[in-house]
Structure 1
Amino acid sequence: MSGVLIGPDGEDPFEAGAFAGLRAQLQAAAATFADAASADGPGTLEGILLGMVDDVDRATREPLEIFPVCHHSPASALAMARRLREKQPKVVYLELCEDMAPLLTELRNCRLPVAVQAFATEVSGFPAEWSPLSVVAPLTEASAEYQAIAYALDTPGVELVLVDRSSDHVFQWDARARTAPEEPAGPDAPPAEEEAALHGDAVGVKIGDLRPRFAELEEHLLRHGKVRHWSEWWHQYVELPLGSSDHDTYRQVMLLVGSLFRRLAPGDTHRVRVDEDRERYMWTRMREHLTASGADPRDCLYVCGAFHAASRVEEFGVHGSGAFEIAPRTATKWQHGLIPSSHAAIEAQFSLAAGSVSIAATLWAKNLRRTGVKPFRLAGQAGTKKTSKAKTGRQEPAASPTAVPADRLTGFLQHPPALDRLDEEELLGWSVEIVRAARRNGYLASTADAIAVFETSILLARMRDRAKPTPYDFQDAAVTCIEKDTVPGRRDVRRLVEIMLGGDRIGQVGYDALPPLARDVHDRLAPLNLALQRRGVQRALLDIASRPELAACSDVLWMLRRLMPQGTARPIMGERKLGARSTQESWDLALGTHQRALIELGYEGVSIEQVLEQRLRRTAYGPQATAATVLEAVEDAALYLGGGRLADELGRHALVVLSTERTVDGAPDVLRRVRRLLAYYRTSEPVLPSWVEAFTKAGYAHYCALLPTAFADEDAGVRQVAATLGFLFGMESLALSLGCDRTQLELAVAQSHPLGPEKTALLWAAQSHLGRLPLTELRSRCEELLASPLTLPAYPRWLSGFVQALEPVPALAGFVVEAVSNAFARLPDPVLLPWLPTLITSLRAEGSELAPLLIREAGRIFPGRLAALDAWVPPWREETAAGPDLPGADEGGGRGGALLAAYPVACDAVAELLGCDGQWAAVGSGARDGAVLAGRYPATAEAWEAVLTGA
């Protein structure tokens, strides 16, 4: 559709209308500019200028009155309140997602600002990676849509109809292929973390997105308006002038601005198509309602953004010719509710300047005092003053239908706004208040600074060609006069000004408007006697020993800690572990601060137990689930839900997932969780669950099969291989009792052929545990490594392997202490010093549980007093030195034989227990030959040596 409409006889249908004089002036201006530029002639500029006037004329002539607004604009809200009392429409059509209508009545139970939210966790018809889907529409009292909602809900006989696309259609029309990078936020947008605080990554829906989509146009307006960002330009050149204008002037100016931004928008095909489809959607819904209800269009009011009010689609108007077909919704199940919002969250989501919504709230209150207009507020609205019936009733006579309004644009565009005396008094109050706030925050401000701020604000306004200082001028003046070079406190002057002008008001959803899950949480935590709706941190003390009923509160708090963001429920004292419950607990609670998260939790179920069960199932059966993650879900099910059916089901699924794994990457987590679960079931259940036995048998066979590959695989780390051996050795007794064959493990170790020193040390430790490698031979191998100049530089790598071997073979702790001590004694500094940081960092990152074992063993071996250190001889050196002098030391018994020969009574007792009938024989110089018996039973000799030495 072209910019200028042509009638059936070839003449302009609006030529004789109310804007004929304005058209003539714009045509002359277009010709003048075209002659001066000598470019494309007057046609292009004239088409734009006259098309804007035609858009205004067309919208004002529509029988169904169109009320253009801008999102969170005090001028729009003021004009809306005034027009609703004059016209008193019977039907209000509102540009808001139509599926959000049932939630609007719950606004009575909230304190603004809040946001109406549509939320979906299980998607159908959309890409799975888009989940969860979230759409929010924030509302403040200083917004035209809230005025319309309050009027319609509290006025008998008035119907409120939401006509914008549904939340489902928002994503149906969303062409974010999730491949192109998102556009960067504007320079005046607040930090991203503020958005995540309340609205998260929800898609924002608002009425009246009045911001130039033509970058050059916005840059031109900011430069010539001598402002820093778009919010300041709108406040100065649109908000303030329209705040004192009449209805016709306000309406025509907003239509003109919307038409300007629409005609100068870039040719983004997708965005233009979405905008036009929204307009077709809304006009189609309105015509359907008019046909079904039989309402008179003159008794209706259509509230929409000024950008959409200047629409040029065929479906425009009650007599539109187009037939737009609305696509059906997908099968996605949407949940609806109210979530708390804030000024900062609105500014972040819609790329507004920081503090602009707070300034708008201040301007709204000022306009109400100045004009005496009575705003509409929902009866019982939290956080607002009570109003009399005269303020909300329909006692003023309805305005009679009038003809097309006269031209108000010409006069508005030609006359600058007049200075209001009240602004000077307000500026003086601001100057005094900011100095007082600065003093409280550590600034050395004085009365002279207040005077300087006042005068500088006026000076800046005049330098920027403004009739009066704006809050933004005042903010710049305060920073210039007070802040100086440093910020003594945690808030700078700019932030102090934002707080002084209204601050970041945060809304709250009342108890009655909460979903069932949130109400259930509040009810179950009622015995704590805390104001859980209040923002901030509160301390809860639970003496469960004296008040057993608080155990139920403890269960709720631990589940909230598991499900909610960090900081919602933080335990100060007490713990929840498998098989352990605290009798006294202390908590820091911030449910009011994280109310949005609690509400969105209510979209997933009717109780926190149900939500936790759903999340555990989703984690366990997800495509990225591993045996370790499934075991973690089993542990959480036992910890928070008491185990039972869910734990058994997830445990059986862990067995299925384990059988599909082809690497040992998850072995450390599997080993840690299996040990914990096994200890829990052994102490709390009469018999082990069937899934534990099945998991032990399958895991034993599974890791035996993977062990040779893990030793040879370069991608498998030492910690993973050590954890695999730890599972096999630690679960060996249970696995053998369930029918497993130890030959599997012996064959797996025999088939392992590692290449690196660390894994070789692990293999030696495994062979020592299986009796294939005596401790004496293990010592001799380490001695050979230290004696060879070729292997000496790499000896720390063998030691790292021995340290990791403490996981599967903790009995080697004494040997590891011996090996580390020998390394410290014999390794040269160029080798030892670079290795120490690596050992410390690896122990901290991968073997923190091994360090206490080493420390305890070292404390047992080394002397406890410094004075005894000089005369101390390591036990392994004593044994080495005493070995050759004892009878039978060279006859196969080794150190164990020498020790048994030194204690014949003990040797006789062991021989009797083993059923041996051998006699002591004389060898050499008549000494008793205990080494003969020890040579026959070397393993027994080594074991008895460990008993006697306390190893």
Structure 2
Amino acid sequence: MTAASPGGPFGALRDQLTDAAAAFADSPDALAGILAGIVDDVDRALAVPLEIFPVCHHSPASALAMVRRLREKKPKVIYLELCEDLGPLLGELRNCRLPVAVQAFASELDGFPAGWGPLSVVAPVTEASAEYQAIAYALETPGVELVCVDRSTDHVFQWLPRDRDDRPGGEAGATGRDETPPDADDDALHGDAVGVEIGDLRPGFAELETHLLHHGKVRHWSEWWDQYVEQPLAAADHDTYRQVMVLIGSLFRRLRPARPEKQERDEDRERYMWTRIREHLAASGADPADCLHVCGAFHAASRVAQFGLAPDAPAYEIEPRTATRWRYGLIPSSHSAIEAQFGLAGGSVSIAAATWTKSLTRAGLRPYRLDGQQGGRTRKGRTAVVPAPTGGVTDRLSGFLTAAGEPAGLDEAELRGWCVDIVRLARRNGYLASTADAIAVFETSILLAGLRNRARPTPYDFADAAVTCIEKDVVPGRRDVRRLCEILLGGDRVGQVGYDALPPLARDVLDRLAPLGLDLEKRTVQRALLDLHADPGLGPCSDLLWLLRHLLPGDTARPIMGERRLGHRSVRESWDLALGRNQRALIELGYEGVTVEQVLEQRLRRTVRGPEASTATALAAVEDAITLLGAPRLVDELGTRAVELLAAERTVDDAPEVLRRIRRLLAHHRATAPAPPGWCEAFVTAGYAHYCTLLPTAFADEQTGVRQVGAMLGFLVSLESVALSLGCDRSQLELAVAQSRPAAPAKVALLWAARHQLGLLPLTELRARCADLLANPLVVPTFPQYLSGFVQALEPVPGLAPFVVEVMSTAFARLPDPVLLPWLPTLITTLRAHGPELVPLLVREAGRTFPGTLPALDAWTPPWTRPAVPAAPVSAAAPAGPVVALLAGHREPVDAVAGLLGHSGDWPAEPVGQPVSRAGAADLLTAHPHTADALAHLLRAGAR
């Protein structure tokens, strides 16, 4: 790259700046080098045969200059600083209402760190932007070619540092600063996407920005830019505009802090763009004089060797893209989303849109617009009358920098209208504003403009004055005065992607929901009422809404009435739908598949096959597949995967959820099918063996909670009958319980309950152990933990509820207040933390045990303290009859049944030829004659 000649059109300006640096700077050499370099950058950019058009993003001045230049030059090729793979989507802007954003999205990464996914790149487009005017001109003018020359979206992430595996925060090469996370709903339209912005002009040097804001008497950068760049350049000619924009870009470029990685990315972008331009010129044979390169003013002041069309420029090798599959589309955007993502002041984009409309009317220009563009009004205007092109480059910078700004008179009608409208809007939002406040805002706006050396109040002065005069101390509603000013001056315009520009999945969703009779493209929340009994044709709409409820954000499809669970479908449903407000989420869902069912199926498979998959997540996926898809083959596949995950798990952290879900699934299959599917049977047998193996370790492990151990025992006990019928051995559970040696009090109580369930610990002995605990002063402080264990034991042994009520009541009755009151809070917090779903069992049991009225409580005696009632004497008369003869002929089963019921005795001697019987059996038959008759009837029926 050759240095600019000391002469040329800017020689006088260069000498003047060098003399000023020597006269006023402490280090004249450094300052003179910077100032002379800025002039050299301007000279170099204007000397390129291919015209460079520097722009600033969302700048009305850039858009106006672009409209003028396009009508004057009528270029045949436009090279646009935009990711080259986003170019084919620009034609879809015809079907949208601006602002929208062109998006590239990738969820399956290949070549990038896994923690970065999903990747998303957006390029927002507004009408008041130079790039949109260039796009509209190129697409609507026959014979004009639009070529996007910036690096691809894949290269955007290739060039980011990879020293960490978390999500990339912001695209420094595109925005020059970290991304500002959005807070509001409209601010989140871009999500966490990386923003690609054309013409970002903002100082990278914080001290420089602070200096400019301080001396410009403004609060933020957007206001400084509007005051000192936008307004002076709005009516400037083309040569002046180009030179000033390149001058600003060069200034910010030379005064930024030294950040080698960011500087390298910026220069790589410039090498990339000029390489693509050279390739296109060589392939198409286009004349550079008929071309226009639209890029940011920052990149127009580039100093890379590939800059320009010099034949001796070194070649730049572009790296190949990764194997990541990118999907492309349009998503809705908004003014606030653009401001939040690119760090602009609130309301600045809305003010720019209002300035653009006013400038068009003032200049009588007719902007370019895509045919069929939604949401736009046809502006009547004349074709701009442009001056004849000047021959060669002339110095316009000197005059622009030295000329005083032309004072614009106060537009009292405009300011008066603002003041009246803001008072009216404030009153609608709960403020006690009056005509006096409108007068105060008017006068304060003029006063603030004078204090800031402005000839007329700007929208920023008006907003500050309104906040000062109207917002006294509190905000009565959800909008403050500054937000009301933004609404008044243009509002937060939200774009929309048209039906024809939506992906196939989004169009399919809208078509399938058409029977609801709602305009789902509106951004308002709409209520849908579905009576599936009266109109069964709405059943497919209900199925689709439940799918969207599962896949999209919570407020997209929110059920007000009705539910969908295993074995239950509501007959009447009510929904709040906000598909228009969440259009971005619906569009990104379309990147994953063609139909909603396909996307859900893919997600369920990824969930159970992912590195974080667990048995509980696999069972949840099975439930979703049953309730939402009804696909038996997918259910079997997911269930088989759940069995594999259960066998591979080495912890029992998810045991409570696993137990709850498998119980629910078994109950569903028993109610809907003759037998549970094969995967359910395999899950029960695998779970029985798995939990029996881990049970001793879980009892001894301090990291395993009592709730998890209780859930393991609940699985083993409640599903024992199913497991034994499938071939499992009960001795596994007995050995596991025998090998368990817990130390924690809660687990000790849980082990006692398990042994009681297995018949190894009678209730009398369990009651005696609890009495010993209460009698031991050293154990009393830990007794709430024992109670917690007994509460968890209700999961595997629900019949233990009366005993738990007995133990708790005994503790409250025996312990004195000095002992009881200290551990009462511990008991409450322990039960709340470890057994909130089991406490209702205790409450119901207590309600059956204790009297229901207070007077009855005085005479009430606990059932566990009442003496046993002796059995009534039985007549000694020997029974006779055919039933007795039948039972006497089968003495073994009769003795067994009598032993289980607590009876014993001998069969008395009978005469020869008569059956022999024992007194215990005789007493039993005499006391229960109906049972004996029923048994005889069954035996006769079986014999027949």
| Fold match by TM threshold 0.5 | yes
How do 1:531-570 residues align onto structure 2 when only pairs under 5 Å count?
Answer: 531-570=519-558
Confirm or deny that 1:429 pairs with 2:417: yes
| CA apart distance, 1:912 | 6.8
* Whole-angstrom CA distance in 1 between matches of 2:130 and 2:353: 12
- What corresponds to 1:926 in structure 2? none
- What corresponds to 2:443 in structure 1? 455
* Whole-angstrom CA distance in 1 between matches of 2:874 and 2:235: 111
Change (3 A) 1:472 1:904: farther
Letter of the structure 2 residue corresponding to residue 370 of structure 1: R
- What corresponds to 2:513 in structure 1? 525
Check conservation: 1:453, 1:474, Cα contact below 8 A: yes
Change (3 A) 1:602 1:187: closer
1:505 to 493, 499, 511: 493
- What corresponds to 1:9 in structure 2? none
1:357 to 339, 349, 356: 349
Change (3 A) 1:903 1:725: farther
* Whole-angstrom CA distance in 2 between matches of 1:81 and 1:902: 117
* Whole-angstrom CA distance in 2 between matches of 1:50 and 1:398: 32
Confirm or deny that 1:336 pairs with 2:336: no
Residues 563-615 of structure 1, C-alpha deviations (whole Å, 9 max, x = no match): 11111111111110111111110011111111101111111111111111111
* Whole-angstrom CA distance in 2 between matches of 1:243 and 1:30: 30
- What corresponds to 1:939 in structure 2? none
Confirm or deny that 1:283 pairs with 2:283: no
- What corresponds to 2:897 in structure 1? 914
How do 1:124-163 residues align onto structure 2 when only pairs under 5 Å count?
Answer: 124-163=110-149
- What corresponds to 1:874 in structure 2? 862
Check conservation: 1:168, 1:330, Cα contact below 8 A: yes
Q: Secondary structure at the match of 2:715?
A: helix
Check conservation: 2:76, 2:145, Cα contact below 8 A: yes
| CA apart distance, 1:778 | 1.1
1:30 to 21, 29, 39: 21
* Whole-angstrom CA distance in 2 between matches of 1:538 and 1:271: 47
2:35 to 33, 37, 49: 49
* Whole-angstrom CA distance in 2 between matches of 1:430 and 1:190: 31
Residues 270-308 of structure 1, C-alpha deviations (whole Å, 9 max, x = no match): 111111111111111111111111111111111000000
Residues 531-566 of structure 1, C-alpha deviations (whole Å, 9 max, x = no match): 111012110001111111111111111111111111
Letter of the structure 2 residue corresponding to residue 225 of structure 1: G
Letter of the structure 2 residue corresponding to residue 299 of structure 1: D
Q: Secondary structure at the match of 1:163?
A: strand
* Whole-angstrom CA distance in 2 between matches of 1:88 and 1:602: 38
Confirm or deny that 1:228 pairs with 2:216: no
Q: Secondary structure at the match of 2:331?
A: strand
How do 1:30-179 residues align onto structure 2 when only pairs under 5 Å count?
Answer: 30-34=21-25, 37=26, 40=27, 42-175=28-161, 177-178=163-164
Contiguous gaps of at least 5 residues in structure 2 = 888-892, 909-917, 925-944
Change (3 A) 1:718 1:901: farther
* Whole-angstrom CA distance in 2 between matches of 1:670 and 1:429: 66
Check conservation: 2:339, 2:349, Cα contact below 8 A: yes
Change (3 A) 1:915 1:643: farther
Q: Secondary structure at the match of 2:858?
A: coil
Q: Secondary structure at the match of 1:882?
A: coil
| CA apart distance, 1:319 | 2.2
Check conservation: 1:123, 1:131, Cα contact below 8 A: yes
How do 1:862-941 residues align onto structure 2 when only pairs under 5 Å count?
Answer: 862-878=850-866, 881-882=867-868, 886=870, 914=897, 918-919=904-905
Check conservation: 1:87, 1:398, Cα contact below 8 A: no
Check conservation: 2:104, 2:327, Cα contact below 8 A: yes
Change (3 A) 1:691 1:153: same
RMSD (Å), alpha carbons: 2.8
Letter of the structure 2 residue corresponding to residue 914 of structure 1: V
- What corresponds to 2:610 in structure 1? 622
| CA apart distance, 1:423 | 3.5
- What corresponds to 2:429 in structure 1? 441
Q: Secondary structure at the match of 1:421?
A: coil
1:347 to 332, 335, 339: 339
2:627 to 639, 660, 670: 639
How do 1:5-16 residues align onto structure 2 when only pairs under 5 Å count?
Answer: 6=3, 13=5, 15=7
* Whole-angstrom CA distance in 2 between matches of 1:537 and 1:429: 33
Letter of the structure 2 residue corresponding to residue 768 of structure 1: H
1:261 to 252, 267, 282: 252
Letter of the structure 2 residue corresponding to residue 229 of structure 1: H
1:385 to 368, 377, 381: 377
Q: Secondary structure at the match of 2:127?
A: coil
Contiguous gaps of at least 5 residues in structure 1 = 7-11, 887-897, 923-929, 937-951
* Whole-angstrom CA distance in 2 between matches of 1:905 and 1:223: 116
Check conservation: 1:194, 1:348, Cα contact below 8 A: no
* Whole-angstrom CA distance in 1 between matches of 2:355 and 2:567: 60
Change (3 A) 1:787 1:26: same
Residues 481-512 of structure 1, C-alpha deviations (whole Å, 9 max, x = no match): 11122222222211111111112111111111
- What corresponds to 2:365 in structure 1? 373
Letter of the structure 2 residue corresponding to residue 661 of structure 1: E
Check conservation: 1:542, 1:586, Cα contact below 8 A: yes
* Whole-angstrom CA distance in 2 between matches of 1:281 and 1:810: 72
How do 1:423-822 residues align onto structure 2 when only pairs under 5 Å count?
Answer: 423-822=411-810
Change (3 A) 1:409 1:423: farther
| CA apart distance, 1:723 | 0.1
Change (3 A) 1:179 1:226: farther
| CA apart distance, 1:853 | 1.7
- What corresponds to 1:893 in structure 2? none
Greater Cα offset, 591-600 or 911-920: 911-920
Greater Cα offset, 19-28 or 285-294: 19-28
Letter of the structure 2 residue corresponding to residue 652 of structure 1: T
* Whole-angstrom CA distance in 2 between matches of 1:415 and 1:373: 26
Q: Secondary structure at the match of 1:549?
A: helix
**TM-score if structure 2 supplies the norm length?**
0.91
Letter of the structure 2 residue corresponding to residue 411 of structure 1: G
Check conservation: 1:118, 1:134, Cα contact below 8 A: yes
Confirm or deny that 1:323 pairs with 2:315: yes
Check conservation: 2:100, 2:126, Cα contact below 8 A: yes
* Whole-angstrom CA distance in 2 between matches of 1:720 and 1:371: 75
* Identity among equivalent pairs (%): 68
* Whole-angstrom CA distance in 1 between matches of 2:434 and 2:385: 54
* Whole-angstrom CA distance in 2 between matches of 1:396 and 1:840: 80
* Whole-angstrom CA distance in 2 between matches of 1:620 and 1:331: 24
* Whole-angstrom CA distance in 1 between matches of 2:840 and 2:481: 52
- What corresponds to 1:944 in structure 2? none
Q: Secondary structure at the match of 2:536?
A: coil
| CA apart distance, 1:470 | 1.5
* Whole-angstrom CA distance in 2 between matches of 1:636 and 1:244: 62
Check conservation: 1:120, 1:334, Cα contact below 8 A: yes
| CA apart distance, 1:340 | 0.5
- What corresponds to 2:265 in structure 1? 274
| CA apart distance, 1:190 | 8.1
* Whole-angstrom CA distance in 1 between matches of 2:875 and 2:220: 93
- What corresponds to 1:296 in structure 2? 287
Letter of the structure 1 residue corresponding to residue 349 of structure 2: V
| CA apart distance, 1:518 | 0.6
The count of aligned residue pairs is: 894
Check conservation: 1:189, 1:354, Cα contact below 8 A: no
| CA apart distance, 1:911 | 5.5
- What corresponds to 1:892 in structure 2? none
* Whole-angstrom CA distance in 2 between matches of 1:771 and 1:293: 91
Check conservation: 1:634, 1:643, Cα contact below 8 A: no
